[in-house]
Amino acid sequence: MLGLAACATAPKPLQGQFPTVSPSDSTASAQVGTSVRWGGKIIKTTPGQGQTCFELISRPLNASGRPDRDAVDASDGRFLACRSGFYDPAVFEPGREVTFIGKIEGYETTKIGEYDYKLPKVNADVVYLWPVVRDVEVVPAYPYGPWGDPWGPRWGGGWGWGRGWW
């Protein structure tokens, strides 16, 4: 007998133990040098000279390290993650889910509207772009499948359906 078990494991680059420090926690009390695994949805990707920086809205991560799709309104704040090299903004576009592993290297202040927002800045060692999940709607055959009523074809007269009562 073959038994299958389903378990959520993080992809190899995302495995490890990390402190439970959120972006909002890190701005409340300085956490420079702390290793983190944070993820969320990309707000903006900005390639620069020698590095690319990503501004993200943080989301809680599920057991596999992916931003939790069921927690769309849950946010631990915003953060900035930078990694050496070029990452194409056409691929790392707004709304894509990504997970980073790195160390908090400092803080930057940016404007959101008229508000000065303090972003924790992560020096990323790992950038993991998650594949896009497509929602598929499965529509059952109406109302009882391809055979009509629940007893199959020609079972007998229903209430005004089928061969009739005569």
152-165 residue pLDDT tens: 555 555 555 555 55
Q: How far is C-alpha 19 from the chain's CA centre?
A: 20
Amino acid 1: pLDDT: 43
**Per residue in 79-124, pLDDT tens?**
999 999 999 999 999 999 999 999 999 999 999 899 999 999 999 9
What's the domain range around 27? 12-129
**Contact, 76 vs 32, CB < 8 A?**
no
d(CA 149, CA 151): 6
Amino acid 3: pLDDT: 44
Show Cβ contacts of residue 98 under 8 Å, excluding neighbours closer than 6 positions. Answer: 39, 40, 41, 42, 54, 56, 67, 92, 127, 128, 129, 130
The answer to whether residue 91 is domain-embedded is yes
The answer to whether residue 166 is domain-embedded is no
- Distances 97 to 21, 31, 50, 129 between C-alpha atoms, Å: 19, 24, 23, 6
Using the predicted structure, report yes or no on whether residue 148 has a pLDDT greater than 70: no
**Per residue in 96-108, pLDDT tens?**
999 999 999 999 9
**Per residue in 16-52, pLDDT tens?**
777 788 888 887 777 888 899 999 999 999 999 999 9
The answer to whether residue 141 is domain-embedded is no
Domain count, the chain: 1
CATH number at residue 99: 2.40.50.140
Amino acid 22: pLDDT: 82
The answer to whether residue 46 is domain-embedded is yes
